[in-house]
Amino acid sequence: MKQTSLVSVIIPVYNCERYLAEAIESVLAQTYRPIEIIVVDDGSTDGTASIAAGFKGDVRYVHQPNGGPAAARNTGLKLARGNVIAFLDADDLWTPNKLSVQVDCLLKHPHIGYALARQRNFLEPGIERPAWLRREFLLKDYVGTLQTLVARRKVFEQVGVFDPTFRINEDMDWFARAKDAGIPMMVVPEVLAYRRIHSTNLGYQAQVGDPVLFRTLRASIRRKGNRRPTEVE
């Protein structure tokens, strides 16, 4: 496939020395090579910096005071040089063809703003299934979110960046804003990412019915209510 899209991969990380190298290696193994991998260290106090340093020449590393994953993603967006953006959490993994399949989707469908794909969850050995993760989501794949997102840079100019007041579920807020803005998207029907569930996930202790979800819904309702009468769904 002719490489006509310049992809920036952003990896936000906080105290994830145990998994970071594997995440980076899954990006380096891509059949469609990104122009850069930006690791944004959100104030880690473990050996994250040393792990990133081991990939010198392949990784652009930046450290910032802890501000949460949304703030780290936004820093990556400011630094990114690509016209296509992809995100990978530091504890998750991509299949080798992930970027190739989704960039090809964007090239074949120039009207869409971003593409998602399907993903699978897997439990770290010795970890119990958290209450919010239904058993069936360990047995089957489903449509992923930020781990599978490949978006044109212009989409962030339309939708905006991630809201740093969300410490978790900032992705749900962003996707709600993208939907309300009418951004066309597609879902690639392949499993292209694997989400690791472990005890130090930010969302591991999340409760069913988390108030963040209701906050996202209320914000979406307000946006729709503030639209001018000429706007349509």
pLDDT of residue 167: 81
Per-residue pLDDT band for 135 (boundaries 50, 70, 90) equals: low
Is 223 a residue whose pLDDT tops 70? no
Q: What is the per-residue pLDDT for 4? A: 65
Q: Is residue 157 over pLDDT 70?
A: yes
Instruction: State the pLDDT confidence band at 203, using cuts at 50, 70 and 90.
Output: low
Instruction: Break the chain into its structural domains and give their ranges.
Output: 7-223
**Beta strand pairing status for 114-123 and 150-152?**
antiparallel
- Asked if pLDDT for residue 202 goes beyond 60, the answer is no
**Do 14 and 66 form a contact (C-beta atoms < 8 A)?**
yes
Listed in sequence order, the DSSP H helices in the chain are: 20-28, 48-53, 69-79, 98-108, 153-159, 170-180, 211-225
Model pLDDT, residue 214? 45
Class of domain 7-223: alpha beta
Given a cut of 50, is residue 131 above it in pLDDT?
Answer: yes
> Does 43 score more than 80 pLDDT?
yes
**Sign of the Cα pseudo-torsion (145, 191, 78, 185, in order):** negative
Higher pLDDT, 138 or 55: 55
In order of 92, 112, 153, 205, the CA distances from 178 in angstroms are 24, 12, 13, 27
CA gap 149, 147 in Å, rounded:
6
Which of 228, 80, 104 shows the shortest CA–CA distance to 154? 80
| Closest by CA position to 156, among listed 192, 113, 197, 121 | 113
Helices of type H across 109-210? 153-159, 170-180
Q: Report residue 154's pLDDT band, with 50, 70 and 90 as the boundaries.
A: very high
Quote the pLDDT of residue 37. Answer: 98
Q: How many residues does the chain have?
A: 233
pLDDT(126) > 80:
no
Residue 232 has pLDDT above 50, yes or no: no
Q: Give me the helices (H) in 83-142, please.
A: 98-108
Flag whether pLDDT at 218 surpasses 60.
Answer: no
Of 11-20, 34-43, 135-144, where does mean pLDDT reach its minimum?
135-144
Q: What is the mean pLDDT of the chain?
A: 86
| Torsion, Cα of 175, 219, 200, 119 (10° steps) | -20
Residue 197's pLDDT is what?
83
Token output for 29? 């193994």
Q: Give the mean model confidence (pLDDT) for residues 106-132.
A: 84
